[in-house]
A and B are shown apart, each in its own frame.
Chain A
């Protein structure tokens, strides 16, 4: 069997096995476990999108919370039932076209992603001229502007009150479906010729320019695709949590995503997928630190806020002692599994 055929077959088998696993999980486990599993999928999508922008193209962007906010608001406004829209907009009614617009969940999420992508294109023109840490601070600035704007345009976003009662359509099928799509799309993108160009820009922008690459164009492509999937992640998260408000989309959210990417390994898709699961579970597990624990008759009182202390310490340890993260830039592939049998057998 040819290597490519074998790998394609294996991928299909993996997808089928994943689907079977989801079916089993959906029927067996309680809501909390399912919720955590959903969060894993969403965090993986978010991490992949930031990894594309930062890990593969070398653009240090801190604007993820902004993209997520755009995606979350757009898709939530499209799936909120009309009656619910009338009840929650207390201060000012929702403006006209939005108050009647409705879309199926898939379309709403897709439009949320596209809106975030559009926003990414808009800000990429001014922002991507900057490099390094300036880019980080400028994208952070845009994310903060989005948040302040969402807080103030009450007839659209309902201001600080946020949106409540968003239908919880996001189940395992939707989240893992989008997650699989993100993995496949971004993996194919970085393996393609475009991906090589992105990595060339990351490794040496000046050299890439000297080779005749239109650096700005490729940066915009990477930034837009990243923004799109961040918007998708935000849209799914909104439906999963059923409530959003501007306070949710602070720098903290971006920090969480950045942490997953750094922990997984910059420039490794496998790393982002692994650490998306590990960090999400770690974050959930750390909730127990904040609750009182009873060990052998002694009750240790829970410490509110301790979770984020441990979390930020973990990031510090990773960046200080294992900067390459779990995977570094390596990727897992079927070839690794079959290497023993195919060594020297086929021409690459």
Chain B
């Protein structure tokens, strides 16, 4: 493989990886706080993409307001899902909330099929992002530079919120001990809603960029990226935001590079992540950067 080819694959992998990272962060934040795998997260990602699609096509909005509106709407959808489907089950066995989230996921997917039809629709890219940039023999899409940059900025913003602000402090406290945090006078339900809001906003941002990168939207587009991003979160160590980022990037690189170097395996592309999941669960269930979870008896 020539160096130029490798550089192109590198940027593709970086793009895919940062898209996975953004989704994985939402999984990891919710799991860190509620110990819940939010199956509906991938469908929020899909909603974000559709909101922008309709904003720009149907309502003829310029890109920036369309994107901001879509992110806000998806964020609200995430909070709504928590309020309706998860909050009533806080005291129920953990698996009940998980089944509820599977139900929500199928509900959103099928509602999207009913409302938006099941046909994939092409997405028009904004003008600045079209075209190909040429550096010597290397040809790369502008998007493969823009997506990682935006993702990086978003993650930095999130880390600032989680580590430097009071709500962020409350989030970290809840993930350690929800009852004690409640006794400290923190309005736990509001902080959980905020967590869902932030996670969903990142998922929507990822969905929008995904729709631009692979220019189409589809009601089921969230299910595979969703599963894979969850795997990325486990890979990095569930509960850790940096871990989710590292896991997402790693998964992106593994998927792109295996297909690049071993084209014979390209048919098995969707299985890599699951194989990786099983290996990591066996070898190091806490993930690369995870904290050790103690089993309470």
Contacts and interface: CB of A to CB of B under 8 A. Distances in A.
Interface in A188-242: 206
Contacts of A319: 89, 96, 99-100, 103
A141 B285 CA distance: 15
A305 B274 contact: no
Contact of A305 (B37, B98, B113): B113
Contact of B277 (A138, A305, A306, A308): A138
Nearest to A261: B99
Contact of B96 (A144, A304, A323): A323
A148 interface: yes
Interface in A298-332: 303-306, 308-309, 311-313, 315-316, 319-320, 323
A106 interface: no
A167 B89 CA distance: 46
A165 interface: no
A149 interface: yes
Contact of B114 (A127, A134, A262, A309): A309
A161 interface: no
A255 B102 contact: yes
A181 to B, nearest CB: 28
Interface string B143-179: 0000000000000000000000000000000000000
A312 B99 contact: no
A145 B114 contact: no
B291 interface: no
B99 A133 contact: no
A137 B230 contact: yes
A308 B106 contact: yes
B94 A305 contact: no
Contacts of B95: 60, 132-133, 136
B95 to A, nearest CB: 5
Contacts of B278: 126-127, 138, 141-142
A151 interface: yes
A144 B110 CA distance: 20
B103 A134 contact: no
Given A130-B285, A145-B275, A316-B103, A136 B110 contact: no
Given A126-B278, A130-B281, A312 B114 contact: no
Given A126-B282, A137-B37, A149 B271 contact: yes
B92 interface: yes
A316 B99 CA distance: 8
Contacts of B189: none
A316 B275 CA distance: 31
A316 B114 contact: no
A211 to B, nearest CB: 14
Interface string B256-297: 000000000001101100110110011001000000000001
B100 A145 contact: no
A151 B266 CA distance: 12
Contacts of B223: 251
B85 to A, nearest CB: 6
A53 interface: no
A134 B281 contact: yes
Nearest to A317: B103
Given A140-B227, A319-B99, 18 more contacts: A134-B234, A136-B37, A136-B98, A137-B37, A137-B231, A138-B281, A141-B274, A141-B275, A141-B278, A144-B274, A251-B223, A255-B102, A258-B102, A262-B99, A306-B114, A308-B106, A312-B110, A315-B99
Interface of A: 60, 126-127, 129-130, 132-134, 136-138, 140-142, 144-145, 148-149, 151-152, 206, 251-252, 255, 258, 262, 303-306, 308-309, 311-313, 315-316, 319-320, 323
20 contacts: A60-B98, A129-B282, A133-B95, A137-B234, A138-B277, A138-B281, A140-B227, A144-B274, A148-B268, A148-B270, A151-B267, A152-B267, A262-B99, A309-B110, A309-B114, A312-B104, A312-B110, A319-B89, A320-B89, A323-B96
